[in-house]
Amino acid sequence: MASQGPVAVSIGNFDGVHVGHVSLLRAARDRVGPEGRVVVVAFHPHPASLIDGREVPAAMTTLDERAALLRAAGADEVVRLEPTRQLLSMSPHAFVDALVDQFSPAVVVEGPDFRFGRGRLGDVAFLRAAGKVLGFDLVVVPPVDVTLVDHTVVRASSTIARWLIAHGRVIDARAVLGRPYRLCGVVVRGDRRGRTIGFPTANLQTQNMLPADGVYAAIAHLSHGALCPAAVNVGTRPTVDCLRRTVEAHLIDMPTMRGEGWQPVPGQPEYGWGLELDLVAWMRDQVRFAGLDALTDQIRRDVECVRRIVNSPLGAIA
């Protein structure tokens, strides 16, 4: 690969692009300097999808989202590496030879637990030895530790970030990711119940991993660049007997209209527009209310709670 300067390469899944990944890219940039190139080789889909009996982790980010986050963190180029059975059966020697042939790296940057090649037999010790023969240096970047709300110290990883999100601990997930966990997608038609009780919602179709069921305070990024607070319901909506998990966002303080001409955002079509939701804090569990009046009263309280949260230090977008 042609380059004006030295090339640093880092290989991995990079799902979520957490603070540990950012540390890898900073180390890569430090080694090659401003004239060099930092290349990220990202597996997609997850290699577990080809391993019999392995559960495929839910993805926090799509490939496009991951690439954008990696570039924002300092990568000059993000290369998709599709895991195939042939690729996963390559020996560590063959894998490194292919890496050198394609990228001619001056330096390879990885974490201490990096594994590659058939049976995950390749490790950083193998890489270091191979580099001495093939002409690249290896930089092993130590893990990044993060302190959670309960003062537990954890190693930043995609696995711990997924666990936190799955348990609704989005404040802690933010510490691991270095930013709020974001649901991205397109607004689609729902059952239109919200507008009948004065709280219309934007129904989000997303490929991102869903957090635990519940009601969240969020900041909505609208497709025309505006921000607004949002009360976000994730789950099955027990009061109206909906069994399918959905994501519904009530966009607070946005002017709306009732009836067929209703538009959740002025100037946007009713459906088909992009919406991003930064989950700031989990507020409460889903509850089956006795009726729509009780539900409406609770939503009013939720809206006021969202306003308080997003106007607190938690609401500051990193």
Looking at the fold, whether 34 and 114 belong to one and the same domain comes out as yes
160 with 171: CB under 8 angstroms?
Answer: no
pLDDT at residue number 281: 98
pLDDT at residue number 317: 55
pLDDT at 258 over 50: no
The residue type at 287: V
- Eight-state DSSP code of residue 116: B
Pairing of β 145-147 and β 181-188: unpaired
For 25-51, how does the pLDDT look when each residue is reduced to its tens digit (9 = 90+)? Answer: 999 999 999 999 999 999 999 988 887
> Is residue 2 in a domain?
no
Domain count, the chain: 2
Q: Could you list the residue range(s) of the whole structural domain that residue 260 is in?
A: 181-315
Looking at the fold, whether 226 and 112 belong to one and the same domain comes out as no
Q: Which of 242, 250, 255 is nearest to 218 (CA)?
A: 250
Token couple for 108 = 């390879």
> Is residue 156 in a domain?
no
Cα 161-165-171 angle, rounded to 5 deg: 85
pLDDT at residue number 192: 59
What are the backbone dihedrals phi and psi of residue 303, each rounded to the nearest 5 degrees, phi first?
Answer: -60, -45
Looking at the fold, whether 228 and 108 belong to one and the same domain comes out as no
50 with 84: CB under 8 angstroms?
Answer: yes
pLDDT at 3 over 60: no
List Cα–Cα distances, 192 to 33, 183, 270, in angstroms: 54, 21, 11
- Final residue before a domain boundary, out of 109, 141, 173: 141
For 286-307, how does the pLDDT look when each residue is reduced to its tens digit (9 = 90+)? Answer: 888 878 888 889 999 999 999 9
Pairing of β 214-222 and β 227-235: antiparallel
Looking at the fold, whether 125 and 198 belong to one and the same domain comes out as no
For 140-192, how does the pLDDT look when each residue is reduced to its tens digit (9 = 90+)? Answer: 999 999 999 999 999 999 999 999 999 999 999 999 999 999 999 999 987 65
Read off the CATH number of the domain in which 124 is found.
3.40.50.620
> Is residue 172 in a domain?
no
pLDDT at residue number 31: 98
For 90-145, how does the pLDDT look when each residue is reduced to its tens digit (9 = 90+)? Answer: 999 999 999 999 999 999 999 999 999 999 999 999 999 999 999 999 999 999 99
Looking at the fold, whether 99 and 194 belong to one and the same domain comes out as no
pLDDT at 266 over 70: no
Read off the CATH number of the domain in which 291 is found.
2.40.30.30
206/36 Cα distance (integer angstroms): 36
